[in-house]
A and B are shown apart, each in its own frame.
Chain A
Amino acid sequence: MLKSRKRYDVHIENVLGTSLQLLLAAHDRDAAREAERVALEEIDRLTRILSSYSPDSEFAQWQETLESDIAVSDELLEMLEAAESWWRKTNGAFNAGASAIAACLTAGDQVTGVVSRVQEPLWRIDTSRRTARRLVDMSMSLDAIAKGFIVARAGAAVAALSGIADVLLNIGGDIQHFGNGAHQIGITDPRQPAENGAAMSKVRIHNEAIATSGGYRRGFIANGVQHSHIIDPRTGHPATGIISASVIAADCATADALSTAFSVLRPDESVDIANGIGGVSCLLLSRDGTLTTNSLWDHHESITL
């Protein structure tokens, strides 16, 4: 990659249902335009594999199968492996079946049956044959990890371009950085989430990723009450204890998955998991206003540019 060049800040709406920011140090305008094209192309390619919304995606097609070993793409295999791994490492707080529980809650149906079904492995992977066998006939979603994965991969694709010295890709608040220069990132305060609201924390990231989860911008209404869209898959209840969970990790898929899990775990459980994995920072805001961080987060916060 080149030494720092001109800075380009590209903002595009309607990417994965939200907004995209591509902040570049690029050789020239043509290099910046090429970076934008490459990022969007990689986002589209991965969306065609991993989307839960498009019935044509590879993941959606795979969900049409049951109890059958299906050959899957490298990317889908990686996501299924990662999702299962985070399910185990977070003691069930991350669960690709949470979307099925949310669908029941939104419809006002009983969730107990679905909740018990998602406590077992949802699929079985054969890494040598590169197949995945769907075990439970229930709608699943990789959204809570796939967006971060797409941000990481699209960011890496841009970083590999010859005219680019530094790239920070942000899609809907999930950020991946590659390059020589560190960046200061503000964390939205859910109590005042306006564009010009004061950040509740500012951290430095450098060749790292950050993701934030919280129920303050999306949710659903059941029995006249507004609930978080984040469901605790262990109980079937919407998350209530944590209103914002941010995670810094080397890659955005990890940050995305853990920020979702940390939205339903107790702060002390999340800190233990983050410290146990290593290289993971977390900031957790509880409903009562308590802020919990681990020491690695404090380290990122203490460095100013």
Chain B
Amino acid sequence: MSQSRYEAAMSRRTLLGRLAAAGASYIGLTAFSRAGIALGQGAKWDDNFELSVDFDIAQPTGGRYHRPYVAVWIEDSAGHPIRTLLLWVNNTGRGPRYIKELRRWFGVESANAQQIISSVSSATRQSGKYNVVWNGRDDAGKVVDQGTYRVLIEAAREHGSYGVIQQDLAMATSPKAMDLQGNEEIAGAHIEFRRRK
């Protein structure tokens, strides 16, 4: 890995870490398992499939709670960031920075670069339960190869805890689902490489 790519990967990983208050401990960084990398090598992502990531925000007993900062993204087998799926960060002051990142997923960047979405209207969703999907495109919109990718869910809280959930998953042509163990901020997660509905 070149130094600059390595730094790009590290800066993404520590994005929330830098935003979190001093005293937060960084956990969950482990060496990437090389197993399964050769799977489907060379073949492009099959558009009959998608990755679905469900996560539950840990709920303190009773009452209301502020949503933590959360980032969900995909890395390749070398640890390079491939695609940011979700980024909720502190955005007080001018220009909420998460919107810049989220633009892509509202289809804004390609079609109407000026449109920034303030909010979303939908049928009522259950408290604290969120879902994001990955369609096998990188941050530049290019189709990725089939292979093993790492799913990362990072959560942090101002003056609070910090944790990362990460899991490697082979994404080629066979469906696969896994429940992931949670931490102090994310109660649990479920990832599923599935056929598109």
Contacts and interface: CB of A to CB of B under 8 A. Distances in A.
To the question of whether A and B form a pair in one complex, the answer is yes
Interface of A: 6-15, 17-19, 21, 23, 29, 32, 40, 147, 168, 170, 172-175, 183-188, 190-199, 202, 210-218, 244, 246, 304-305
Given A7-B96, A9-B91, A9-B96, A192 B133 contact: yes
B118 A172 contact: no
Nearest to A244: B123
B127 A17 contact: yes
A7 B91 contact: yes
Interface stretch (B14-22, B37-45, B108-116, B148-156): B108-116
Contact of A184 (B107, B116, B125): B116
Closest 10 CB pairs of A and B: A188-B122, A196-B105, A214-B123, A11-B67, A183-B118, A172-B124, A173-B122, A198-B107, A194-B133, A212-B121
Among B63, B125, B197, max chain A CB count under 10 A is at B125
A215 B126 contact: no
Contacts, number: 156
Given A13-B57, A13-B127, A196 B132 contact: yes
Contacts of A210: 121
The secondary-structure label for the interface of chain A is: strand
18 contacts: A6-B93, A14-B127, A19-B128, A23-B118, A40-B64, A168-B118, A175-B121, A184-B118, A186-B119, A188-B120, A195-B86, A196-B105, A202-B115, A212-B121, A212-B122, A217-B122, A218-B123, A246-B121
A190 B126 contact: no
Contacts of B114: 304-305
B118 A197 contact: no
Interface of B: 52, 57, 59, 63-67, 85-86, 88, 91-96, 102, 105-107, 112, 114-128, 130-133, 197
A12 B128 CA distance: 9
A211 B88 CA distance: 23
Given A196-B133, A305-B116, 13 more contacts: A10-B66, A12-B67, A14-B65, A18-B125, A175-B119, A184-B118, A187-B121, A187-B122, A192-B133, A193-B131, A195-B131, A210-B121, A217-B124
A215 B124 CA distance: 9
Given A6-B94, A14-B63, A304-B115, A185 B121 contact: yes
Nearest to B52: A194
Contacts of B121: 170, 173-175, 185-188, 210-212, 246
A29 B93 CA distance: 9
Contacts of B95: 7
B66 A11 contact: yes
